[in-house]
Structure 1
Amino acid sequence: MQSEIVNGTWKGYLGRGLAPRELQFLLFVAVGLTAKEIAREAGISPATVAKRLTNAMYKLGVTRRAALVAEAMRRQIISPLCFALVALLTMNAVANVQSVEPARRDRRPPSVRIAQVRITRRSETLEAA
């Protein structure tokens, strides 16, 4: 018997609490398909897909499909195949955020902001001279 199921960029592990068909449909949800699209792919009725997903949500103790994917990841039932790429992109984003000044929220009218920028720049030039 196969111990993992791969679907797109996701891998699911059998024997961790979900039936094989529930795991297969969970992977389709993780990819972003709707019940109708999953049914079309599997050649079954959308009601059957909905029932399998409802069973999986009950087993994992969640009520929404997004929470189903998150809980399955937390319990290591599913994992993205591109995990290294995600980690690399996250590290790159963190490095870029640290090098840039944090964005400042300014709710004043634009004319006041422009005037303050001009005054600030003029005072910076006078200090430099």
Structure 2
Amino acid sequence: MEFVTCGSWRGNLGQGLAERELACLVAVAAGHTDKEIAQRDGLSPRSIKGRIEAAMHKLGVYRRPALVAEAMRRGLISPMIITLCAVLVGHSVASGDEFTRVRRSGERRIETRVATRRGDCAQAVA
């Protein structure tokens, strides 16, 4: 399966959107404007708007936040952090390493707290 990436977002090709529509959708999810996407791709902002509208029509939504949410729900796009977490979890399961710290039987958590009396607080304010 092929991917389209933009910033910290990844889009999956072959799931209903054309490559250019998916590239624009991923850029919108990354927070880019039509003008920024157009400058990156060497196109006009109007053509970018058309691609985004085509993606909206295919997914049955009519607002950009809803477009990103629907694409995430269908698995078309995902933040790269989710992919990174999946890789780390898969690595830890496969190799047997643990990422969490395990406390030994005699070890205690030590907390330091600052305790003040109400009278001390009142004097500090005055």
TM-score by length of 2: 0.64
| Alpha-carbon distance in structure 2 between the residues aligned to 1:39 and 1:70 | 23
Deviation at 1:7, TM superposition (A): 1.3
Helix, strand or coil at the partner of 1:21: helix
Residue equivalent to 1:102: none
Partner residue, 2:18: 19
Aligned to 2:34: 35
Q: Which residue of 1 aligns with 2:62?
A: 63
1:32 to partner: Cα distance: 0.3
Structure with the higher helix share, 1 or 2: 1
Deviating beyond 4 angstroms after TM superposition, the runs of 4 or more aligned structure 1 residues are: none
SS at match of 2:10: strand
- 2:79 maps to 80
Deviation at 1:3, TM superposition (A): 1.2
CA distance in 2, matches of 1:4, 1:44: 21
Which runs of 5 or more residues in structure 2 are unaligned? 86-117, 119-126
CA distance in 1, matches of 2:24, 2:61: 16
Gaps of 5+ in 1: 85-120, 122-129
What is the count of residue pairs matched by the alignment? Answer: 85
Aligned-residue CA RMSD in angstroms? Answer: 1.6
Query: What's the TM-score once normalised by structure 1's chain length?
Result: 0.63
The one-letter amino acid paired with 1:17 is G
User: What are the equivalent positions in structure 2 for 1:97-112 lying under 5 Å apart?
Assistant: none
